[in-house]
Amino acid sequence: MTDYRKRVRTALEGGWRFAGLHASEGGSVVRVLLAAPDGSLRLEDVDVEGRAVPSIVDLAPAADWDEREAADLHGLVFDGHEPLRPLIDHGAATDRWTVRVTGDDAYEIAVGPIHAGVIESGHFRFHVVGDRILQLDARLFYKRRGLEQTAEGRSLEGGTAFVARACAACSVANGVAYAHACEDALGLEPTAELARARTILLELERIWSHLNDVAAVCAGVGLAAGNNLFAALTERARRLNRELTGHRFLFGTVRIGGSALELGAKDVSAARGELESLRRQAASGWRELTFNSSFQDRLPDIGVVGAADATRLGAVGPAARAAGIAEDVRSVSPRLTYDRFEAVVPERPAGDVQARLDQRAIELWQSFELLDGLLAAPVAPAAAAPTGRERKIGVGRVESPRGATSCVVERSGDRIERLRLRTGSYANWPVVAFAAADNLLPDFPLVNKSFELCYACADR
């Protein structure tokens, strides 16, 4: 077991990053997924002895939620992870899953799990003095559906529905990560046309998602005009999805070993025209936001997560890049069509609300440019090519709108033995709690919206 910690430590010191942990084989094995800067992925395993295994949370603090989830689901003990607070088990008393805060004038405010808006359930327990947040404990998983466990025993193709429906906002990203994992296990390699089709779908999903995120930040500061404009652009982007694929959220567009996406010359021409119109109007709206001083004054120095803390906590996606961490899975995705793509960070990578908003704009312009090139020719149905390199366990990792999403599939023939989906939202929720501390309570909705994470991705 000590060799397990040594292997993980050596990998982390060598530049690999923690990308996920899960228990497998009925809780008898724990697997850690690691990602290298060049996009390489590897699993490190350790056998569980007497329901216990060494914790790696001191080596990789980003493993906190993963170890807590494995403890709840499989009754494991992670030695050294103290206190090992419940994550999914909601039967525990409040003092078991929250951090105790004491002192003069300190008190607690409980928000949720039921909210006034049409959003998923989430409980935010604030420890405050006056309006100053000292600590935030976030509890999700109120509507956990057990999708991973339900998928066990199903066919690999049947598992697609469980992963793609884990979250409407990330249906394509989750689906492609799963397809890549299955194809990795089955010894299949996407052809150039298949890679292009999937990249188009991923970028269509990113555009509507980022437009929606900009609208959400406008709502967070009460700028109705900005919220309405970018919400309307979000709706147009979703309608374009429907025109191209038959579904506003691109459901049913990803499958294992191929793609049925077919776009003729008229389809791609119309899509490029609509995307260019969306780009121009988004750019016009962005200029209005940039020169609105009352709006801009609300953004700096709120919800700060610096580069060191973002790295320590395992932040991914726009949240990490807003802190100056120039990492994007798209730049190291050989199974997709991101030739010469480079991760970009904002000019002011302060890791605050303003930087996270600016990062969305940067990525919007990147996605519009990418799609203009990807849709320069018709899209035909495509299939993956066999490589002859089959294996029991396959791994996939893609860049969702909220960050790196990884999927591990363990199979027996054509059947799923274990499925693990770790989304960008799952990785970033603990970062939201960190970002909230030392801010004013009325600013939390703005901090939360600057991440704009999925509840459903965690409640899978």
Residue 312 clears pLDDT 90, i.e. is over it: yes
Residue 320 clears pLDDT 90, i.e. is over it: yes
Between residues 114 and 362, the one the model is more confident about: 362
CATH 3.30.460.80 fits 2-79, yes or no: yes
Question: Can you give the pLDDT at residue 388?
Answer: 87
Q: Model confidence over 98-156: pLDDT tens digits?
A: 888 887 888 888 887 887 776 788 889 999 999 999 999 999 998 888 888 999 999 99
Q: Model confidence over 62-80: pLDDT tens digits?
A: 999 999 999 999 999 999 9
Residue 385 clears pLDDT 70, i.e. is over it: yes
> Stretch 375-382: mean pLDDT, rounded?
96
Question: Can you give the pLDDT at residue 2?
Answer: 66
Stated as kind and residue range, the H or E segment containing 443 is none
Question: Can you give the pLDDT at residue 19?
Answer: 96
| Sequence-separated (6 or more) residues with CB below 8 Å from residue 426 | 65, 457, 458
Cα separation, 139 vs 158, in Å, equals 31
Question: Can you give the pLDDT at residue 401?
Answer: 96
Residue 309 clears pLDDT 70, i.e. is over it: yes
Tokens linked to 331: 């730049």
φ, ψ dihedrals at 23, nearest 5°: -90, 145
The Cα-based distances of 29 to 74, 182, 219 in angstroms read 11, 20, 45
Q: Model confidence over 261-277: pLDDT tens digits?
A: 999 999 999 999 999 99
Other CB atoms within a 10 A radius of the CB of residue 14 amount to 10
Cα separation, 341 vs 418, in Å, equals 33
Q: Model confidence over 195-247: pLDDT tens digits?
A: 999 999 999 999 999 999 999 999 999 999 999 999 999 999 999 999 999 99
Q: Model confidence over 32-63: pLDDT tens digits?
A: 999 999 999 999 999 999 999 999 999 999 99
Grouping H, G, I as helix, E, B as strand and the rest as coil, residue 54 is: strand
CB 411 within 8 A of CB 420: no
Question: Can you give the pLDDT at residue 325?
Answer: 97
Question: Can you give the pLDDT at residue 217?
Answer: 96
CB 422 within 8 A of CB 395: no
Q: Model confidence over 14-27: pLDDT tens digits?
A: 999 999 999 999 99
Question: Can you give the pLDDT at residue 164?
Answer: 87
> Stretch 351-362: mean pLDDT, rounded?
98
The Cα-based distances of 380 to 267, 293, 314 in angstroms read 12, 47, 38
Q: What is the pTM of this model?
A: 0.95
Question: Can you give the pLDDT at residue 60?
Answer: 96
> What mean pLDDT value characterizes the chain?
94
Cα separation, 456 vs 424, in Å, equals 12
Cα separation, 194 vs 197, in Å, equals 5
pLDDT band at 1 (very low <50, low <70, confident <90, very high): low
Distance of CA 408 to the CA centre of its chain: 15
Residue showing tokens 């989906």: 421
3-state secondary structure 80-118: CCCCCCCCCCCCCCHHHHCCCCCCCCEEEEEECCCCCCC
Question: Can you give the pLDDT at residue 311?
Answer: 96
Question: Can you give the pLDDT at residue 398?
Answer: 97
> According to CATH, where is 3.30.460.80 located in the chain?
2-79
First to last CA, the chain: 30
Question: Can you give the pLDDT at residue 346?
Answer: 96
Cα separation, 152 vs 329, in Å, equals 28
> According to CATH, where is 1.10.645.10 located in the chain?
167-427
| Sequence-separated (6 or more) residues with CB below 8 Å from residue 243 | 270, 271
Question: Can you give the pLDDT at residue 168?
Answer: 85
Regarding the domain delimited by 167-427, which CATH topology (the fold level of the hierarchy) does it fall under? Cytochrome-c3 Hydrogenase; chain B (1.10.645)
